[in-house]
Amino acid sequence: MTALVRRILGKAGPFIGLVLVIGLFSIPAETREHFLTFHNFKIIFTQTVIVSIGALGMTLIIVSGAIDLSVGSTIALTGVVGALLIQRGWGAAATTAAAVCVGGGVGFLNGSAVAFLRMPSFIITLGMLGIGRGMAKWLADNQTVNFDFSPINGWMTTSNPSGAELPAGVWVAVALAVVTSLVLRKTVFGRHVFALGSNEAAARLCGVATVRLKIVVFAVAGCLFGLAGIFQLSRLRVGDPTVAVGLELDVIAAVIIGGASLNGGVGTVLGSIIGALIMSVLRNGSQQMGWPNYFQEIIIGLVIIVAVFLDRFRRGGKA
Residues that bind another protein (CB under 8 A): 3, 185-189, 191-192, 194-195, 198-199, 201-209, 261, 265-266, 318
Rounded to whole angstroms, the Cα distance separating 187 from 166 reads 30
Report the C-alpha dihedral over residues 184, 12, 280, 302, rounded to 10 degrees: -110
DSSP annotation of 151 reads: G
Angle at 163 between CA 25 and CA 32, to 5 degrees: 15
Nearest to 227 by CA among 128, 110, 82: 82
Report the C-alpha dihedral over residues 117, 261, 41, 69, rounded to 10 degrees: -20
Nearest to 265 by CA among 202, 173, 179: 202
Give the nearer residue to another protein in terms of CB position, either 261 or 268.
Answer: 261
Q: Minimum distance from CB of 186 to another protein (Å)?
A: 5
Question: Backbone phi, then psi, for 268, in 5-degree steps?
Answer: -135, 150
Q: Minimum distance from CB of 225 to another protein (Å)?
A: 23
112-120 long-range contacts (CB < 8 A, ≥24 apart) are 112/215, 114/66, 114/214, 114/218, 115/210, 115/211, 115/212, 115/214, 115/215, 116/211
Question: With 0-12 CB in 10 A as exposed, 13-18 as middle and 19+ as buried, what is 27?
Answer: exposed
Give the nearer residue to another protein in terms of CB position, either 9 or 208.
Answer: 208
Give the nearer residue to another protein in terms of CB position, either 63 or 124.
Answer: 63
Rounded to whole angstroms, the Cα distance separating 104 from 117 reads 19
Q: Minimum distance from CB of 200 to another protein (Å)?
A: 9
Rounded to whole angstroms, the Cα distance separating 309 from 277 reads 19
Give the nearer residue to another protein in terms of CB position, either 137 or 315.
Answer: 315
Q: Minimum distance from CB of 213 to another protein (Å)?
A: 11
Give the nearer residue to another protein in terms of CB position, either 62 or 156.
Answer: 62
Q: Minimum distance from CB of 192 to another protein (Å)?
A: 7
Q: Minimum distance from CB of 69 to another protein (Å)?
A: 24
Amino acid identity at 100: V
Give the nearer residue to another protein in terms of CB position, either 203 or 251.
Answer: 203
Give the nearer residue to another protein in terms of CB position, either 29 or 188.
Answer: 188
Q: Minimum distance from CB of 268 to another protein (Å)?
A: 13
Contact at 8 Å (CB) between 196 and 208?
Answer: yes
Q: Minimum distance from CB of 240 to another protein (Å)?
A: 38
Give the nearer residue to another protein in terms of CB position, either 204 or 237.
Answer: 204
